[in-house]
A and B are shown apart, each in its own frame.
Chain A
């Protein structure tokens, strides 16, 4: 009856015009803003937060999950200067994580290949 849609935790509700990312500039704090990431969870948000904190241009990065039954996350970012916007630092963080993931994929593939070469006799082929 009032059960949520089965896919409501990971599929954007495009019918009601839901967008993946919504940005709001902070009205009280300088160089700060809040990203609302719809249909995301700790999986990606904690990754983004930790990557943002590695950037010396970032003064603050933190996220909240408002409620277990709410399917969006809010990511608050403040930068050190007005020359770099929160959107820019987030964009850089995602790019860095992207290349890290590419590297990880290659690394895993190599490691698997090497392991198979070294253990051919164990595998019996």
Chain B
């Protein structure tokens, strides 16, 4: 293992629905692999088959089946409070030995809602069928109705809206959720956002800076639309603001402004802002199917398993 790196991770914040962290001492290939795996290869549960018994709603069967697929489904182990990695608890349905589906490879949801009319109502408002109306046959697996308490407080409905019923209409169905990855269909994607940004390296050239007057320095500070620079009132020096890494968007305004300020065009820049090649700011938001920290851990395990598999296949190749 002569060319191995030892990446470092700093957590900025962890919430059930969002995680922010810094990955450093690694490179873009690792950051990008992590991002791509979180988006497309972390296994989750999603409704994949829907059996309609009765549907007198305004939406057709396929339309409702599609909407059901997009409801985030959450696996929460008995002793845990988190939406967790479901890959140890379920078998991929293609590997299961059962005929169609069973408890090992799927979860069944039942839904039966009728808009009953007694004749005594003054107003007949539509009735919304939501994810709350789905009855699971596995208590560890439930639809994720809301991302957070805040979202729930603001919502009009009890859960994720599926269809609205008019008086006398009925929707009765059985839905089967299976484990999958979002390479197959985006409904299995556990993340709403998975991005990384490059850490900005802000270098201030003190020698060049000494040739500027206080007014010119202030002009330079005001040029940057992100306001990543500030003027020290005591010493009159320019420095980067503390949260420059968070607000920097690499605009070119600073570059152009200082080109005009320089005495000679070949002089060094006063301030240079470059993208770090080995430090990344990650931001991951979930759909509700899994907790954000679990997605990150799961993604790393997926990568580890893939590398093991490739190493094994390569060994087999040598033997041939």
Check A101–B314 contact: CB distance below 8 A: no
Q: Is the CB of A19 within 8 A of B304?
A: no
**Which chain A residue lies CB-closest to B315?**
A91
Kindly state whether residue B202 has any CB partner on chain A within 8 Å.
no
Which chain A residues lie closer than 8 Å to B21 at the CB level? Answer: 108, 111
Given the contacts A23-B317, A91-B314, A111-B11, A46 and B3 also touching, CB distance less than 8 Å: no
Stretch at the interface among B26-34, B191-199, B231-239: B26-34
Q: Which of B8-31 contact A (CB under 8 A)?
A: 8-11, 13-14, 21, 26-30
Cross-chain contact of A55 among B3, B13, B26, B29 (Cβ < 8 A): B3
Provide the bound-state CA to CA distance between A33 and B181, in Å: 32
A99's partner among B4, B33, B300 (CB-CB below 8 A) is B4
**Would you call B296 and A7 a contact (CB within 8 A)?**
no
**B257 close to chain A: CB less than 8 A:** no
A102 to B311, CA, bound (A): 15
Determine whether B40 belongs to the interface, using a CB cutoff of 8 Å to chain A.
yes
CB distance from A103 to the nearest CB of B (A): 5
Interchain CB contact under 8 A, A107 and B7: yes
With a cutoff of 8 Å between Cβ atoms, the chain A residues found around residue B304 in the complex are 98, 101-102, 105
Tell me whether A112 and B14 are in contact in the complex, defined as CB-CB below 8 angstroms, given that A47-B29, A54-B3, A98-B308 are known contacts. Answer: yes
Contact of B318 with A50 in the complex, beta carbons under 8 Å: no
What secondary structure prevails in chain B residues at the interface with A? helix
Contact call B33/A7, Cβ cutoff below 8 A: no
Residues of A within 8 A of B33 (CB): 43-44, 46-47
Check if A70 is an interface residue, CB within 8 A of chain B.
Answer: no
**Alpha-carbon distance A49/B36, docked complex (angstroms):** 16
In the assembled complex, the Cα of A70 lies from the Cα of B317 at a distance in Å of 23
Whether B3 and A104, one on each chain, are in contact in the complex, defined by CB atoms closer than 8 angstroms, is: no
Q: Chain B's nearest CB lies how many Å from the CB of A114?
A: 8
The residue on B at minimum CB distance from A116 is B14
Q: Is the CB of B9 within 8 A of A108?
A: yes
Instruction: Decide yes or no whether B307 CB sits under 8 A from chain A.
Output: yes
Chain A contact patch, size range = 35 or more
Is the Cβ of A95 less than 8 Å from the Cβ of B311? Answer: yes
Is B183 part of the contact surface with A, judged by Cβ < 8 Å? Answer: yes
Q: What's the nearest-Cβ distance from chain B to residue A23, in Å?
A: 6
Which residue of chain A is the closest to B312 with respect to CB atoms? A20
Contact pattern, A 20-62, Cβ under 8 Å of B = 1, otherwise 0:
1101000000000000010001111011011100110000000
Q: Is B6 an interface residue (CB 8 A)?
A: yes
Chain B CB within 8 A of A100 CB: yes
Question: Are A105's CB and B310's CB within 8 A?
Answer: no
CB distance from B35 to the nearest CB of A (A): 9
Q: B297's contact among A7, A94, A108, A116, by CB below 8 Å, is which?
A: A108
- Residue from the list B7, B14, B184, B311 in contact with A104, Cβ < 8 A: B7
User: B108 an interface residue at 8 Å Cβ cutoff?
Assistant: no
**Contact indicator A115/B14 (Cβ below 8 Å):** yes
B104 at the interface (CB under 8 A from A): no
B11 touches A115 (CB 8 A): yes
**Assembled-state Cα–Cα distance A90/B21 (Å):** 30
A87 on the interface (CB 8 Å rule)?
Answer: yes
Q: List B contacts of A21 (CB < 8 A).
A: 310, 313-314, 317
Q: Which B residues lie within 8 Å of A119 (CB)?
A: 14
Q: Convert B82-113 into 0s and 1s, putting 1 for each residue whose CB lies closer than 8 angstroms to a CB of A.
A: 00000000000010000000000000000000
Instruction: Rank and list the top 5 A-B pairs by shortest CB-CB distance, nearest first.
Output: A50-B29, A115-B11, A20-B313, A43-B36, A96-B4
Task: Show 10 residue pairs from A and B whose CB-CB distance is below 8 angstroms, ordered by the A residue.
Answer: A9-B183, A21-B313, A91-B311, A98-B307, A104-B9, A105-B304, A112-B14, A112-B293, A115-B13, A115-B14
